[in-house]
Amino acid sequence: MPLYEPVLCKRIPTPPWGEISDRKLVTYQQYVETGGYKSLDKALQMQPKEVVDIVKAAELRGRGGAGFPAGVKWSFLPPEDGKPRYLAINADESEPGTFKDRMLIDFDPHIVIEGIAICMHACRLDTSYFFLRGEYHHQREVMEHAIREAYDHRIFGPGSKLGKINDRWPQLYLHRGAGAYICGEETGLLEALEGKRGWPRIKPPFPAVAGAFGRPTIINNVETLACVTPIIEHGADWFKSMGVPPPAGSAPGTPASFGPKLYGVSGHVNRPGVYEDELGVKLSDLIEGLCCGIRGGRKFKAAIPGGISMGVLSADEYEAVLDFDVGRKHNCLGLGTAGVIVMDEGTDMVAVARNIARFFAHESCGQCTHCREGTNWMYRMLTRIETGEGTTRDLDLLLELSGSMGMMPGNNICGLSDGANWAIRTIVNKFFDEFETRVTRERGVSLAVVS
């Protein structure tokens, strides 16, 4: 049993502290009996700004992918004007390899609902929308039941213990998505919430100023809001006792990687699943410890650190520290959702790249030309390379294209194409020999296809 004690999985049996087979849904009554909603009561004794300051002092970073400091985001809201202000909870979780939020919804939904209520008090938001992935049918039933329990006990609705906000009783609604990956992007989520096509918006204005229905809106991930509850209970210093500080030599004000983190591990491991540890766990410790090693006794070859858009870590990076700075240290996009996909020595990295490109080509919303066309070009070139029909020119074009499209080069509205090009770029660069053996100098020269 490690010294670290679970925080987010306090009520969810998880190895090595409990058995997965013992998991069950925590009801409102069971949640309260184990200390639930005490953080909300504590927050309601504070001024809203005090709550924001505690979250800011804890340096809680968003757990949905970008890692932006939650307290800083909350502070962007303009002053109240008596009109509606919204909270949108991002439970879309459509990044391949990601399933951590689903576990919280399945077994301990009230830790999220309590975080939602605290955020509404702190930011003076009168209405919340829980935006749930369209394919999460069971989770819809669980969440709807938990929301009804919260209304029955006056967390929301008339007589809410939060009191009236902007002269309205606080409300929490469940809104189901329609299965589009792009709606995981915050402004695409807002468009879908408003009943429109899920097309990301140009920023500025940012959602905190003009979000849902043109009103100030905070958008937070499920796990982020779940972290708010223990922060209020134990304080910012307690939260910062876990995790790792910014790397040495970082500029002043660089956000750290503090607090607990849920890692969703899939792929070629003996025990896939969602595991909790501090931010900054080593990839090797996660695989060999919590996941009981690579299946079949095979060797580690590669891992995607946080959903397929983050790129890949090679065998030389097996000791990589999984914190929010993993990207700059190991030339990938970042930690993302911490959905770790592990690949063993038998994995065909050309096929991996082709499959990733196929996904992004299919899920591009089509609004931006670079993304709509570029993702399809990458998929076609990788298909040719995989079948042995590609040329060295295809490989050169692939790397050129993967470095020139996306929001970072300034060509696209959202980050979907950045995810696509970072994924492809890191795989090709770190496993170049596998691609090189599959191409010829000229079209039409026969090559044996690697199985």
Rounded CA gap, 282 and 279, in Å?
9
Question: Which token pair is 306?
Answer: 């946080």
Q: Which one-letter amino acid corresponds to residue 449?
A: V
What DSSP string describes 78-114?
PPP-SS--EEEEEE---STT--HHHHHHHH-HHHHHH
Rounded CA gap, 325 and 321, in Å?
8
Question: What is the pTM for the complete model shown?
Answer: 0.93
Domains in the chain, CATH or no CATH each: 20-241 (3.40.50.11540), 257-344 (3.10.20.600), 349-436 (1.20.1440.230)
pLDDT tens series, the chain, 451 aa = 456 789 999 999 999 999 999 999 999 999 999 999 999 999 999 999 999 999 999 999 999 988 899 999 999 999 999 999 999 999 999 999 999 999 999 999 999 999 999 999 999 999 999 999 999 999 999 999 999 999 999 999 999 999 999 999 999 999 999 889 999 999 999 999 999 999 999 999 999 999 999 999 999 999 999 999 999 999 999 999 999 998 877 778 788 999 999 999 999 999 999 999 999 999 999 999 999 999 999 999 999 999 999 999 999 999 999 999 999 899 999 999 999 999 999 999 999 999 999 999 999 999 999 899 999 999 999 999 999 999 999 999 998 888 888 888 888 899 899 999 999 999 999 999 999 999 887 665 554 444 3
Other beta carbons within 10 Å of 183: 27
Rounded CA gap, 278 and 85, in Å?
33
Sign, CA torsion 366/368/370/371? negative
Given a contact cutoff of 8 angstroms between Cβ atoms, the answer to whether 309 and 419 are in contact is: yes
Other beta carbons within 10 Å of 359: 19
Other beta carbons within 10 Å of 276: 22
